[in-house]
Structure 1
Amino acid sequence: MAKRVFFSFHYQDVIDFRANVVRNHKMTKYEGAGYFDASIWEDAKKESDLALKRLINSELKNTSVTAVLIGSETYARRWVRYEIMKSLEKGNYLLGIHVNSIKCKDKKTKDNGANPFDYLGVSFSDDGKRVSLIEYKNNKWVNYSDLDGWNISNVDKKDWGKSYKLSKYYKVYDWVNDNGYDNFEKWITN
């Protein structure tokens, strides 16, 4: 069954061409790779906060997977964080893919950027009936302000009253070292 994938990334990685390698790899491999691109491009920079949230929400609407393309500054980008948290709320399968190992236009690579899932988290209420969203900013964990939490059920009692980084739940791969060209479809169906 085909998966609709939303690609979340820092726009600098498009300029450097790294994000495009991942987003467009199906065209160089074979047609019908089993996912559809639902990313947002340049128009996003021109919108107000509310309009941008609506645009992201509409792009996420018919997706089931969110692939976070991790460059040097991805973890710190407000709208990448929103896309991750909104994907979490929606129930999308989330994964991260380091893209700095991909050679950019000048044929250079970079060290991997920080994992955005280490800077975002969930906090379960003391009775286990609500999840709140948290983020790491200015060297401390704070409530995430762009999206409220929601009511939940079936939280293991050992997790009541506790907080966890999203990296506890979601895998991160490296496009080059983990052979994303051949393994991407496996990653989005795990």
Structure 2
Amino acid sequence: MAKQVFFSFHYHDVIDFRANVVRNHWLTKKDRKDAGFFDASIWEDAKKQSDLALKKLINSGLNNTSVTAVLVGSQTYNRRWVKYEIMKSMQKGNKILGIHINGIKDKYGRIKTKGPNPLYYLGYQYSNDGKNLYLYEYTDGKWIKYPDLDTYILDTTASVENRGKFYRLSSNYPIYDWVDDDGYKNFSNWVE
């Protein structure tokens, strides 16, 4: 069954065409079911939106999705709203995966080296009683409280072995390479 996928990406990767290759690969498939997803991404010009309006737009875009695919370019890891989309997806309970896209040729036929994995720069810690989740981001060489979402209450209490422990998101969520891992063929498996 096709999943409703939210694509998170740095807008520059749309300009370079790389994000479009992934988001539109279904066009050359038999149908969207064969592609394995429906695109629930949002298009916006962040400079025209207040922080609150942009958060509402992202939250609305995440509605009815079950997967968030983070398209990883050179500066994706450093984008405030990509971080928010990832953290909000985690809070919502979406499956999260990263996909390196710098191996895709841009509109001029150029490729780039892989960008840093944004999931490596985000983390969380269970409270000592296992009822809350604290969110963090790695900035300027240290872990700080994530500023755009508050600590939240978990639906189910964390297991005893996880209580009080800190995890990078990269330890829990996979990352693929669109070119090296044949995303055109395997994307539908990645989102299942």
Which TM-score applies when normalising by structure 2? 0.95
Query: How far does residue 162 in structure 1 lie from its aligned partner after superposition?
Result: 1.4
Matches of 2:56 and 2:175 in 1, distance apart?
27
Q: Residue type of the partner of 1:20?
A: N
Cross-structure match for 1:29:
29
Q: Distance in 1 between matches of 2:158 and 2:179?
A: 36
- Aligned residue for 1:42, secondary structure, equals coil
Offset at 1:150? 1.4
Please state how far the C-alpha of 1:92 moved relative to its aligned partner.
0.4
Correspondent of 2:187 among 160, 178, 184: 184
Residue 30 of structure 1 deviates from its aligned partner by 2.5
2:52 paired residue among 36, 50, 53: 50
Structure 1 CA distance for aligned equivalents of residues 107 and 2 of structure 2: 31
The percentage of counterpart residues that share the same residue type is: 62
Per-residue deviation, residues 71-128 of structure 1 (Å, max 9, x unmatched): 0000010000000000000000000000000000111111100001100011111121
Structure 1 runs (4+) greater than 2 angstroms displaced: 42-45
SS of aligned partner of 2:60: helix
- Contiguous gaps of at least 5 residues in structure 2: none
Paired AA for residue 61 in structure 2:
E
Q: Shift of the alpha carbon at 1:45?
A: 3.5
Instruction: State how 1:119-134 maps to structure 2 within 5 Å.
Output: 119-134=121-136
Q: Structure 1 stretches of 5 or more lacking a match?
A: none
Secondary structure of residue in 2 paired with 1:148: coil
The range that moved more, 24-33 or 170-179, is: 24-33
CA-CA distance at 1:35 after TM superposition: 1.3
Q: CA RMSD in A?
A: 1.0
- Tell me, what secondary structure is at the counterpart of 2:89? helix
1:11 aligns with 2:11: yes
AA partner of residue 76 (structure 2): T
Tell me which of 109, 113, 116 is aligned to 1:114. Answer: 116
- Which residue identity does 2:159 align to in structure 1? D
Determine the structure 2 residue equivalent to 1:38.
40
Deviation, structure 1 residue 140: 0.3
Q: TM-score, normalised by structure 1?
A: 0.96
- Structure 1 residue 89 corresponds to structure 2 residue 91: yes
- Quick one: which amino acid aligns to residue 174 of structure 1? D
Q: Deviations over 1:120-146 (max 9, x none)?
A: 011111121111111001110000010
- Matched with 1:76 is 78
